[in-house]
């Protein structure tokens, strides 16, 4: 355990040094280069628009109309301002720099001649530009107005320093995001290469040595020849054995002699056992001398202890002479022998999970807007509810497909279903990009959900098949680590891609990454890693009956947790985070990349806050209170939308949602597993039913939020959802308190 942890820490350190430091230097110089290039682009754009304005003004001036008497010039300035969003203001001055016309974001106006100097002459914004690392030479553009080669005035265009700073800040955030994605991707790939090329071959060599060393046999050097330095280790071991056998030839003969007399020694020991048993019977002892419950006087006890010591010494001598290794010891469990002999390393699935979840996460930050872009009336639903239909369809099909996929992996193994799931998922992404209306989009998202469910369950089955009971928790934790890493990378990367190439093309990128995961599967899991064929059981279907789906609600503890906590939590996750957040931020004109970063904060909270909560609050009796506290924290954050709204308040709600669900969601599963109805049905069936009902919140979440938005507006819909979660959490807390009181009275 320690060695493996140290290996991962070293990988992380290498990734940080190589990726973070390297990209930090690159980003710094690249940011400086970008800012200079961006300023030049803005200057060219402003000069181009200014020349259009100059041509119009000079045409009027050539008619003999003085510059200060041109009517309607304010409208031309306002139109020019609209065409240059980065401009802070535009002014027209006379040859002595007295202001005649001015336009800024507040509007355009005409000034009385000879009353006020232009701002270009005074430059009151220079100190602010200096704080931004800019100068007036970067932001000020002057275009002269001439009539018959005589200057009659100037057009002054000032580029806003804050717009340059905002764009530079946006690029910096994009660079930091790319740095994070690069770090996570590098970590996953380094982990894979270390496991594939170093750790697993070393484990195989260790296994072979463990089998061959008791008989002083050499390992097959041809097997390790392609493995470089590990092949050298195999040759070194063979050289040691060869030298040992050559130097101790007589010792080998003695070993053979003792090996031939081993049976005689065992027969002698058996005869001695029988004689000692007879002695104990003569003294009145009724139990075998090897029994732990011998009832006799002090002499018999001393004799028994002496016998056991002698027998222990002979057993040790027999093991030494026979050269028996740990694997031939019958006390070693079959599971431990399988673990030593080697399974496929469960870490090999991590890059596949990372790529697949990353592909699925590309669309999280913009999917509601993508649906809204092809809006058409459908079933009399509001526009907001129609935007949530494809997400609800995806969640519904996913909820149904997962139990069926579980039965498929039970009968077919994990390998073939995993290939099938990746193919279906990639096809679903391609078809989603080609969808022409809402009906097609719903159908194609349902197809994508089928592939997602099969892949998700197949990967979990791989972990189960290639871990022991002792290492399964670690395997699942690494699976979840790859899951959330891919989710983070996919969300922010997809947002940046959508900002640059549009919504639909991103789904082609998703299909490409699903295809990469398939190629990875076909390349890695072959040869010695090829899974054994699985016999088909011929049974497919839901792992639980319709009666069981309803029967569970007879258990008050089960039903209260599902209806008051599990379903509201999924409403908040899918309805609020995945549906409301993208729509709302798009509605307030937030950048697409910022939408991705806001959603990413939830996954970061789950990754880092969840283990902290589990570490500080491991007590079983606190689980129900943690569930309620998580719901109350989420509700309180949402109710804050009553007083303030916008990007930062929404970011606060997302972070509090992540913290709250880090407290409640892990405890929910633990509580459900301890309910009476789950114990009666069995943990597999009971937890499957719980997950089925829990996903009802996933299905109705987007539709419910769409309904609230249509009826109450964006801000009030969050407040309404917060109020619902608050009521549910308080009701659950009351039920917990009442049950605890009843239990105390019974005791």
Query: Average pLDDT, stretch 507-516?
Result: 96
Lowest mean pLDDT among 1-5, 481-485, 489-493: 1-5
* C-alpha span between 494 and 385 (Å, rounded): 24
pLDDT at 356 over 90: yes
Q: How far apart are CA 680 and CA 667, in angstroms?
A: 20
Considering only residues 92 and 202, tell me which one the structure prediction assigns the higher pLDDT: 92
Question: Measured in whole angstroms, how far is the alpha carbon of residue 575 from the centre of its chain?
Answer: 19
Of 114-123, 476-485, 487-496, which has the strongest mean pLDDT? Answer: 487-496
Q: Say yes or no to pLDDT of 283 above 90.
A: no
Mean predicted lDDT score pLDDT of the chain: 80
- What element of type H or E holds 57? helix 22-61
Give the separation between CA 631 and CA 76, rounded to whole angstroms: 55
pLDDT reading at 404 higher than 50: yes
Residue 745 has pLDDT above 60, yes or no: no
Which strand (E) or helix (H) includes residue 395?
helix 383-412
- Residue 152 sits at φ, ψ, to 5 deg, of -110, -5
pLDDT > 80? residue 443: yes
Length of the chain: 747
Given a contact cutoff of 8 angstroms between Cβ atoms, the answer to whether 204 and 214 are in contact is no
Greater confidence, 534 or 77? 77
pLDDT of residue 319 exceeding 70: no
Q: Report d(CA 624, CA 190) in Å as an integer.
A: 40
Nearest-angstrom CA–CA distance, 162 and 104: 14
Cβ-in-10-Å burial (0-12, 13-18, 19+) of 279 comes to: middle
The percentage of residues in the chain with a pLDDT greater than 90, rounded to a whole number, is: 28
Give the pLDDT score at 338. Answer: 44
pLDDT for residue 304 is more than 70: no
Within its chain, how far is the Cα of 464 from the centroid? 20
Q: What is the mean pLDDT of residues 133-142?
A: 87
How far apart are the C-alpha atoms of 562 and 549, rounded to whole Å?
A: 12
Which is more confident, 415 or 334? 415
Taking 90 as the threshold, does the pLDDT of residue 208 lie above it? no
Split at pLDDT 50, 70, 90, the class of 226 is: low
The residue among 34 and 312 whose pLDDT is bigger is: 34
Q: How many CB atoms lie within 10 A of CB 358?
A: 29
Which residue reads 């995001």 in tokens? 177
Mean pLDDT of 719-736: 93
Name the 3-class secondary structure at 62.
coil
Query: What's the distance, CA 539 to chain centroid?
Result: 33
Q: Is 679 left (phi over 0), alpha (psi -120 to 50) or beta?
A: alpha
Burial of 227 (0-12, 13-18, 19+ CB in 10 A): middle
The pLDDT tens digits of the residues spanning 66-100 come to 888 888 888 888 888 888 888 889 999 988 888 88
Which pair of structure tokens corresponds to residue 615?
């570490």
Q: What is the pLDDT of residues 679-712, one digit of tens each?
A: 888 776 777 788 888 888 899 999 999 999 999 9
Comparing CA positions, the residue from 561, 319, 529 lying closest to residue 415 is: 529
The span from the CA of 484 to the CA of 604, in Å, is 8
CA pair distance 441, 363, nearest whole angstrom: 13
DSSP, residue by residue, 202-231: HHHHHHHHHHHGGGT----HHHHGGGTHHH
What 3-state class would DSSP assign to 442?
helix
Could you count the other beta carbons within 10 Å of the beta carbon of residue 161? 22
Q: What is the pLDDT of residues 8-22, one digit of tens each?
A: 566 667 767 777 777
Q: Cβ atoms within 10 A of the Cβ of 532, count?
A: 7
Q: What is the pLDDT of residue 695?
A: 86
Which stretch of 440-444, 510-514, 741-745 has the lowest confidence by average pLDDT?
Answer: 741-745
The reported pLDDT for the residue numbered 542 is 58
Helix/strand/coil for 289: coil
- How far does Cα 441 stand from its chain's mean position? 25
Instruction: Report yes or no: 515 and 627 within 8 Å, Cβ to Cβ.
Output: no
- Helices within 115-160 (DSSP H only): 119-122, 126-131, 136-139
């Amino acid at each position: 355990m320690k060695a493996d942890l140290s290996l991962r820490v070293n990988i992380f350190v290498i990734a940080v040094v190589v990726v973070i430091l390297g990209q930090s230097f690159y980003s710094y110089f690249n940011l400086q280069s970008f800012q200079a290039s961006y300023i030049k682009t803005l200057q060219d754009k402003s000069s181009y628009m200014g020349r259009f304005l100059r041509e119009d003004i000079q045409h009027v001036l050539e008619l003999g109309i003085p510059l200060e008497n041109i009517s309607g010039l304010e409208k031309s300035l306002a139109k020019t301002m609209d065409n240059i969003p980065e401009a802070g203001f535009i002014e027209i001055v006379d040859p002595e720099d007295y202001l005649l016309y001015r336009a800024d974001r507040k509007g355009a106006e005409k000034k009385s001649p000879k009353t006020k100097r232009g701002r270009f002459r005074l430059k009151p914004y220079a100190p602010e530009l200096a704080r931004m690392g800019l100068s007036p030479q970067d932001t000020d553009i002057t275009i002269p107005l001439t009539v018959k080669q005589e200057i009659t005035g100037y057009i002054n265009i000032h580029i806003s320093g804050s717009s340059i700073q905002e764009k530079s800040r946006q690029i910096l955030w994009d660079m930091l995001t790319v740095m994070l994605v690069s770090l996570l991707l590098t970590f996953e790939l380094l982990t894979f290469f270390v496991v594939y090329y170093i750790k697993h071959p070393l484990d195989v060599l260790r296994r072979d040595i463990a089998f061959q060393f008791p008989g002083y046999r050499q390992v097959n050097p041809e097997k390790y020849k392609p493995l470089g330095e590990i092949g050298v280790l195999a040759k070194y071991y063979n050289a040691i054995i060869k030298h040992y056998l050559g130097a101790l030839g007589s010792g080998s003969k003695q070993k053979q002699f003792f090996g031939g007399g081993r049976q005689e020694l065992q027969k002698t020991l058996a005869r001695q056992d029988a004689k000692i048993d007879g002695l104990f019977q003569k003294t009145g002892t009724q139990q075998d001398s090897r029994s732990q419950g011998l009832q006799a006087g002090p002499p018999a006890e001393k004799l028994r202890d002496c016998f056991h010591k002698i027998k222990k010494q002979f057993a040790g001598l027999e093991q030494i002479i026979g050269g028996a290794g740990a694997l031939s010891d019958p006390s070693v469990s079959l599971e431990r022998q399988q673990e030593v002999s080697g399974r496929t390393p469960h870490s090999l699935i991590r890059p596949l999970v990372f790529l697949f979840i990353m592909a699925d996460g590309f669309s999280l930050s913009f999917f509601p807007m993508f649906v809204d872009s092809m809006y058409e009336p459908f079933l009399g639903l509001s526009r907001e509810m129609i935007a949530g239909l494809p997400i609800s369809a995806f969640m519904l099909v996913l909820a149904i497909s997962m139990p069926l996929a579980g039965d498929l992996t039970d009968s077919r193994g994990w390998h073939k279903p995993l290939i099938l799931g990746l193919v279906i998922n990639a096809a679903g992404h391609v078809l989603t990009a080609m969808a022409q209306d809402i009906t097609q989009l719903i159908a194609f998202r349902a197809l994508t959900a089928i592939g997602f469910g099969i892949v998700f369950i197949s990967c979990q089955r791989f972990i189960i098949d290639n871990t022991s009971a002792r290492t399964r928790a670690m395997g699942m934790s690494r699976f979840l680590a790859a899951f959330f890493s891919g989710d983070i990378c996919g969300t922010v990367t997809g947002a940046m891609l959508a900002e640059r190439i549009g919504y639909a093309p991103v789904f082609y990128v998703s299909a490409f990454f699903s295809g990469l995961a398939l190629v990875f599967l076909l390349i890695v899991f072959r040869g010695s890693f090829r899974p054994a064929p699985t016999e088909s059981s011929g049974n497919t279907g839901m792992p639980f009956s319709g009666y069981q789906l309803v029967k569970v609600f007879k258990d008050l503890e089960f039903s209260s947790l599902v209806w008051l906590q599990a379903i509201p939590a999924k409403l908040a996750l899918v309805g609020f985070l995945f549906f409301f957040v993208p729509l709302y931020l798009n509605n307030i004109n937030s950048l697409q990349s910022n939408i991705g970063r806001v959603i990413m904060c939830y996954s970061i909270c789950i990754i880092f806050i969840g283990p902290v909560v589990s570490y500080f609050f491991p007590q079983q009796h606190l689980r129900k209170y943690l569930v309620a506290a998580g719901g109350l924290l989420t509700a309180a954050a949402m109710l804050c939308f009553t007083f303030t709204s916008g990007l930062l308040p929404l970011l606060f709600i997302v972070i509090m949602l992540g913290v709250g669900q880090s407290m409640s969601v892990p405890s929910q599963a633990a509580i459900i597993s301890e309910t009476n109805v789950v114990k009666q049905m069995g943990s597999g069936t009971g937890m499957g039913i719980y997950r089925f009902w829990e996903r009802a919140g996933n299905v109705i979440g987007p539709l419910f939020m769409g309904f609230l938005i249509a009826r109450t507006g964006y801000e009030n819909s969050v407040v309404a959802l917060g109020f619902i979660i608050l009521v549910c959490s308080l009701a659950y807390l009351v039920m917990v308190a009442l049950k605890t009181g009843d239990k105390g009275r019974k005791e």
